Structures are given as structure tokens and as C-alpha cells.
Amino acid sequence: MAEQLEPETILREISDLEGRIEELRQAANMPVPDLRATLDAALVELELALTALRTMGVDQANAAGRSATAETERRVLRTVFQDAPVPLFLLDRDAGVRRVNKQAAAMLGTSPGYVSGKQFIAFCDLPARAALRSQLAAVVRTGRRRRTEVRFLGREHPVDAMVTMARVWIRGEPDPMIVVAAGATAVPDGPADDERPTRTATPAAGTAGGAAREAAPLSDDRDDEVMAALVHRMDVLATASELLLDEPVFNENVAVRRCARLLTAEMTEWVFIDLTPPRAGPASAGGTGAPGAAGHEANGDLRRVVVMGQPDEHGEETVHSLEQLAPEPGTLPHTVFTTRQSALRPHVEDLDLLGVCADGQPACVKMGATSVLCVPVEDGDRCIGTITLASRGEHGPLDLLDLGVAQRLGRLLALVIRASRLYQRRDEIAVSLQASLLPQRLPQIPGVEVAGLYRAATHGIEVGGDFYDVFPAAGGGWGMVLGDVCGKGQEAAAVTAAARHGVRALSGWKSDPAEVLSMVNQALLDEERFVTAVMAGLTVGGEGMKATLASAGHPPAIVIRPDGMVRYASSGGVPLGLFEDFEVGTQVIELAAGDTLFLHSDGVLDACDMSRRQFGQERLLEVLAGHAAAPLQEMLNAVEQRLIDYCDGDLRDDVSMLAVRRQPTPLN
């Protein structure tokens, strides 16, 4: 006779039924669903609901008879459980593992103590979990035995088994329990030699069916496997160090993607990397600012930076869903970030621990993840993010050795990111400082075209020493100057600012460029750096323009005629700031309409190709002659592009150019 359903029992049954139906919906929407098993389970749920409706109000069966039967089953269970030749699991009505025998632990490649207390379905392949939970519920509810195929997630590889589930009553237990017996159907071959090395470092003690073998001592072959696993992890760390430190200047985005790509290639199927944005302000430059209350970045907002893995046939749709899934409070990455404590979940029980996607499907279900670990990305002072690894279990669950490798990678990545953000902050400061050394815009001179160009060296983040300027001069004329301070950095920037602004200020009451440079020389004698410079005083009149040149150890100015003829002006003089007895090279040049006066730094001539051959004067003159009639900015851009092509983008020094041209008088 069917048992009576009390009101409390009915409510619990309805709640459990709703939960199992939701799991079946998720299982049916998985990328590779087991539709047959899901359908069978759905029919089971309908049967259970019908049985519950029919048995409401029926008298309870004889309690004494049931007690006698349960006592008999208890004695049988006690006798055969540990010594049964097949793997056995004892579950409570909620599918939690109460006890396993040694054959079951051997099948999973772990210890009985590890299995106990976890959900039984956590050791089973993800697509069949929802259906299996329904089958277990049917066994509890109806008392009828059931058989179904299950793929267990063994430590080294999955194990296919046929399981038989039966309900038992144990004295002292208020609810029935379930005995699950597993018999092997097939044991997949291990991975081929050319596949990803197994992560396992401890042996499985037996197989799933027949007379299971006892745990055996490690053989020589097994010792070799353990050593190979350890060596593989050392190789992963060595490769990571090489990949992350390969950049001449640390790049956070490159480092993060390289780290994720390495992990998916060598250790797991899916990787998430979540990071906090850099802290604003000078504190981030040194990386030693006071950490927040939890010891992480001040704003504490984790952002998903990279999702990388081996997507199913849904491909980009799956990756996009996971990228949009923020590491919110309550998820494993957020918990690891706030506590700075690594977490390892070899067999995932809570499918929501990585969050739920916008379509309502847990991230673990979308990935097919049955094993997860998460480690903080911290540099010793603060935590700036997390690395999460998710595995489908095809090569065994993630273990402590995987956790150790991920922790080391987390610290290495944190150091690279810290250096990258330091460099980025210093680069921002350098760019701002460099911008202050150059005019924001060149003045408009009636009848004269003016253009300037500055390009920083490819390597390094130090402030360059190049400067140029165009400004009004005494007597109604105009002045232009281009110079180069010896060295780079903040000290060189201070000298650059002094030279540029000194020339500009003195030109307000001195019209002769030679006098201006002589006075600047006096001001720079106490500095530890010298400056080369070329200055021109411009007087515009009629159809032409007169340029009075003064050179202080700088490459000479160049005159380009409209027909392409190119001539060097005279050079000479000594750099500024070296000697009190200062000499300057001077020359006066008449520029007709269409003539161009071109000034440049030595970075133009010294640019080298892969064979360390310099760009030189002849190549510069060739480009200038070829663009003699082009607009000035186009001319300067052409020189820049030719330089970049010549040195394959590897400029070793800053490049500065400044040009003026007397425009023809338009005809009325």
C-alpha cells in the first residue's frame, strides 16, 4: 500500500519537484544535451506527480512490518557494503553521499573521506545530472529499483558505468536512503601521447566493474607519470615567465591574453581573468599606495577582461555570454578577490558558483564545467583580480598541483600588470611633460606657411630633449628655433624648458639670433647638460623673406627651392652650456616666394635600418626634393614615413622637424 503524504511532505515534494524540473530545463538547453535521458527523467517526474495525487489521504502502511523489513535491509547492507565486489554509494534522500566503499573510491581515484558529504551527482558528467537527480528522486518516492547509464568523472579519465539504485530504510534515520551500485560498461582509453598531459599526480586504485582491484603501490611506470606531471607544470611556469616577460615594455593587455592562452592550451578548457581598473592619480605610479580595506584596488570593481576556452558548436555566442557575465558578489571569483584566498572545487556541486548568464543558464552548465579553481592576482601588496580555471573533467578534476601552478601564475601576472601600469602612468606623465615643451599650435604669419612635427622614439618612456618654437621677435620680425638637449628624462626636460623659453623671452628684446643664443649659453653654463640648436630670425617683405641663421653645434638648416633644388646652409658654432667663450655660426639667406627653410634634429639623420646603416643626408635631401612643391605638412609627413619605413618602425631617437615657406602673393 502506498504511504500517506502528510501536508509537510507534500510541500517538500512540490518544492523538490520544481527544482528538478528547472534542472531538466537547463539540461535540455545545454550545448550537447542528453535528450533521451532528459526525456526519460521528465516522464519519471510525471509519474511521481501522478502517484502523489493518487496516494493523498491513503492510510499509512503497517509501521511494524516496514520496520522489520528495514532492519533486515540494514543487516544486509552492513554485511555486504564494505566487501562488495562492486562500487557502492550510500546516499540520503537529497542525493548527498553518506558513505562509499573502497571500490567506489577507487573508481573515482580518490579517498572515501573526500567523497563523503558531497552531492553524488557532482561526480557525474554534467549533461546527465538533472536526469539522474530525477531518477534518484523516483527511487526514494516509489521504492522501485532503477537502472541507468552514468559517466563518472574519474581522477584520470571519465568512467562509463551502469548504476542500479535501490531504496533502503535504516533504523534511526527519519528518511529513506539510497544504495547505488555501479558496474562498468566501458573504460575509455587514456589520452594519446600527443595530447595534453594528464594533471593527476596520484593513482586510481581500481576500476568500476567486476572484481575491483585493490589499491596498488606506485609502479615504476606510475612514478614516471607523476614525474611527467610535475615536469609539465614546471614547463608551464617557465613558458609563462618567458611569454609574460618578453615585451621590451610591459603591456598589460598582451600579458593577460598570453596567460589565458597558455592555460587553455596546457591545463584546462576554460579560463576567466577578472581585473580591477588602475587606480587614478600618482599613487598608482609607484604601486605602493595604501591598499583598500580588503587589500585590493581602491574602487574594488572587478571587470571581466578575458574569457578564453574551447567553445562548443555555439562558438562565439557562448564566449559572448560569458564575457557579459560580471563577477558579482557571491560568485567564486568575487569571493576569492575579497578574501585573497584561493579556492579549489574538484567536483562542482553548486552550478551557480561562477554566476548565471543572461539567459538564466549557469556559467558552469554553459561551459560543461565540472571542476573549478580560482586564485587571486596579487603582487604581495594588494589584490588586483582573479584567474579562474574551469574544466570539463575529461582529463580528471583540477587538483592541488594545478592550484599551485595557477597561484604562481597569478603572482607573476600581478607583477607584470603592476609594472605595466607603472610604465603607463610614467608614460602619461612623460607625454604631458613633452607636450609642455612644444607649442600647442604654431602661430599664423601673414604670407608665410609654417609646419612642425615631433615623433618620440619607439623605445622607452623617458621625456625627450627635442624642442622647437615659432614666436614674434623684436623689431616686428619672427623667430624660429629647433634644438636638442643631451640625454633624456626629467633633468633633460628641465634644461629643454629653460632653453626653449629662454630663447623665446630674449627674442622679445633682441632681434639678432646670435646674441640670443649667446645669452642663453650663459644661462645654461651651470647645467650639467649641453644643448645644440639652430635659430632663424625672419623678416618678411615684398615677394621674399630674409632669414638670419645662427647655429650652435646643430645640423645645418636646409633650403628647398620650388624646382626641387636643395642646398645646405652653413653650420658651425659650439653647443650651448659648454664654454663661457661661446662661438656661433651665422649666415643670412634670402628666400624667394615658394622657397622653404627646413630645420631638423639629428634623430632624422641617425635613424638606422636593420643593418645599422644610418638614414643620412642624401636620403633626407631626396625626400625633400621630391616634395618641394607639396604643402609643408605633407612634406614633413613624407620625411617621417620614409624614416619609419627605413628603420622598420624602430626609431632609436626622437625626431623633430620645423619648416617655413614664403607664399607667393596671390594675383587679384
Query: Across 356-400, where does the E strand assignment appear?
Result: 371-378, 383-391
Cα separations in angstroms, 333 against 260, 276, 542, 588: 15, 12, 74, 71
Q: What is the pLDDT of residues 401-421, one digit of tens each?
A: 888 888 888 888 888 888 878
Query: Across 226-281, where does the E strand assignment appear?
Result: 270-275
Distance, in Å, from the CA atom of 535 to the CA atom of 585, rounded to the nearest integer, reads: 10
SS3 586: strand
pLDDT band at 188 (very low <50, low <70, confident <90, very high): very low
Sign of the CA dihedral running 361, 364, 365, 368:
positive
Distance, in Å, from the CA atom of 183 to the CA atom of 241, rounded to the nearest integer, reads: 46
The helix-helix angle for 220-244 and 252-266 (nearest 10°) equals 160
- Residue 272 clears pLDDT 90, i.e. is over it: yes
| 37 contact partners, CB below 8 Å, separation of at least 6 | 127, 128, 131, 132, 148
Distance, in Å, from the CA atom of 5 to the CA atom of 17, rounded to the nearest integer, reads: 15
Residue 199: predicted pLDDT: 46
Residue 487: predicted pLDDT: 75
C-alpha cell at 62: 503497517
Q: What integer best gives the mean pLDDT of the chain?
A: 79
C-alpha cell at 134: 530525477
Task: Name the one residue in this structure whose C-alpha cell is 607544470.
Answer: 233
- Residue 146 clears pLDDT 80, i.e. is over it: yes
CA nearest neighbour of 657 among 517, 480, 516, 427 = 480
Beta carbons within 10 angstroms of residue 84's beta carbon: 17
Task: Name the one residue in this structure whose C-alpha cell is 532503477.
Answer: 146
Give first-to-last CA distance, the chain, whole Å: 116
Question: Mean pLDDT lowest for which of 185-189, 281-285, 462-466, 552-556?
Answer: 281-285
- Strand duo 343-345 + 371-378: pairing: antiparallel
Answer for the pair 363, 338: CB distance below 8 angstroms, yes or no. Answer: no
- Residue 341 clears pLDDT 70, i.e. is over it: yes
β-sheet with 383-391: strand ranges across: 303-309, 270-275, 383-391, 371-378, 343-345
Residue 545: predicted pLDDT: 92
Distance, in Å, from the CA atom of 411 to the CA atom of 403, rounded to the nearest integer, reads: 12
- Strand pairing partners for 479? 471, 537
Half-sphere exposure for 223 (CA within 13 Å, toward CB): 4
Residues in the chain: 668
Distance, in Å, from the CA atom of 13 to the CA atom of 4, rounded to the nearest integer, reads: 13
- H helical segments located in 437-462: none
- Residue 62 clears pLDDT 80, i.e. is over it: no
CA nearest neighbour of 306 among 272, 267, 355, 261 = 272
- Strand pairing partners for 483? 467, 533
- Residue 657 clears pLDDT 70, i.e. is over it: yes
Residue 57: predicted pLDDT: 44
Distance, in Å, from the CA atom of 608 to the CA atom of 643, rounded to the nearest integer, reads: 9
Question: Mean pLDDT lowest for which of 114-118, 190-194, 657-661?
Answer: 190-194
In the chain, the domains with their CATH numbers are 7-190 (3.30.450.20), 223-428 (3.30.450.40), 439-662 (3.60.40.10)
Residue 194: predicted pLDDT: 41
pLDDT band at 200 (very low <50, low <70, confident <90, very high): very low
pLDDT band at 594 (very low <50, low <70, confident <90, very high): very high
Please state the rounded mean pLDDT for residues 508-523.
Answer: 92
- Residue 295 clears pLDDT 70, i.e. is over it: no
Residue 312: predicted pLDDT: 57
Please state the rounded mean pLDDT for residues 493-519.
Answer: 89
Q: What is the pLDDT of residues 73-109, one digit of tens each?
A: 455 555 556 666 678 898 988 899 988 888 888 888 8
pLDDT band at 343 (very low <50, low <70, confident <90, very high): very high
Task: Name the one residue in this structure whose C-alpha cell is 639667406.
Answer: 589
Beta carbons within 10 angstroms of residue 623's beta carbon: 19
C-alpha cell at 321: 555570454
Question: Taking the C-alpha atoms of 192, 196, 197 and 198 in order, what is their torsion angle to the nearest 10 degrees?
Answer: -90
- Residue 259 clears pLDDT 50, i.e. is over it: yes
CA nearest neighbour of 477 among 502, 443, 500 = 443
Helix (H) or strand (E) holding 539: strand 531-541
Residue 290: predicted pLDDT: 35
C-alpha 518: how far from its chain's center?
54
CA nearest neighbour of 268 among 97, 417, 393 = 393
Question: Taking the C-alpha atoms of 253, 259, 261 and 267 in order, what is their torsion angle to the nearest 10 degrees?
Answer: -160
CA nearest neighbour of 564 among 626, 619, 496, 481 = 626
Distance, in Å, from the CA atom of 413 to the CA atom of 430, rounded to the nearest integer, reads: 25
Residue 191: predicted pLDDT: 43
Please state the rounded mean pLDDT for residues 340-349.
Answer: 91
SS3 478: strand
- Residue 266 clears pLDDT 70, i.e. is over it: yes
Judge if pTM exceeds 0.85.
Answer: no
Residue 555: predicted pLDDT: 93
Helix (H) or strand (E) holding 150: strand 146-153
What Rg, from alpha-carbon coordinates, does the chain have?
A: 39
Question: Mean pLDDT lowest for which of 287-291, 394-398, 514-518?
Answer: 287-291
Which class for 668: exposed (0-12), middle (13-18), buried (19 or more C-beta within 10 A)? Answer: exposed
The amino acid present at 485, given as its one-letter code, is: V
CA nearest neighbour of 413 among 306, 292, 328, 265 = 306
pLDDT band at 296 (very low <50, low <70, confident <90, very high): very low
- Give 58 or 324, the one with higher predicted confidence: 324
